[in-house]
Chain A
Amino acid sequence: MNASTVRTVQKPKPNYETTAWKWMRYSGFLLIPLVWGHVLLQDIIVGVHKIDLDYVALRWASIGWRTYDTLLLGFAFAHGVNGIRQVLQDFVHSPVLRKWLNWGLLAFWIVIVTIGGIALIGGVRSNP
Chain B
Amino acid sequence: MSSFKTTMIGYAGYRGKEGHVSFLLHRITGLGTALFLTIHILDTSLVYFFPQLYSHAIDLYRTTVFGIGEIGLVFSVLFHGVNGLRVAFMDLIAPKLWSIPKQRTSTRWTLIVTLILWLPASTIMLYNILRHNYGLFGG
Taking Cβ atoms with an 8 Å cutoff, the residues of A that contact B are: 1-2, 5-8, 25, 28-29, 31-32, 35-36, 39-40, 43-44, 47-49, 51-53, 56-57, 73, 76-77, 80-81, 83-84, 87, 90-94, 112-113, 115-116, 118-119, 122-126, 128
Contact = CB atoms under 8 A, between A and B. Distances in A.
14 contacts: A29-B85, A35-B81, A36-B77, A39-B74, A43-B70, A47-B125, A48-B62, A52-B55, A91-B4, A94-B3, A115-B42, A118-B48, A124-B51, A128-B52
Contacts of A93: 3
A83 B31 contact: yes
B128 A47 contact: yes
Given A25-B91, A128-B51, A32 B45 contact: no
Given A28-B84, A83-B30, A115-B41, A53 B62 contact: no
B125 A43 contact: yes
B100 interface: yes
A90 B101 contact: no
Contacts of B27: 87
B34 A7 contact: no
B50 interface: yes
A105 to B, nearest CB: 11
Contacts of A36: 77-78, 81
Interface residues of B, number: 49
B124 A28 contact: no
A29 B82 CA distance: 10
Interface of B: 3-4, 7, 27, 30-31, 33-34, 37-38, 41-42, 44-52, 54-55, 58, 61-62, 67, 70, 74, 77-78, 81, 84-85, 87-88, 91-92, 95-96, 98-101, 121, 124-125, 128, 132
Given A32-B84, A73-B41, A83-B30, 13 more contacts: A5-B99, A5-B101, A8-B95, A32-B85, A48-B61, A49-B132, A52-B54, A52-B58, A56-B44, A80-B38, A87-B31, A119-B49, A125-B48
A10 B116 CA distance: 37
B23 to A, nearest CB: 11
Given A112-B38, A119-B47, A43 B74 contact: yes
Contact of B54 (A25, A28, A53, A123): A53
A22 B84 CA distance: 13
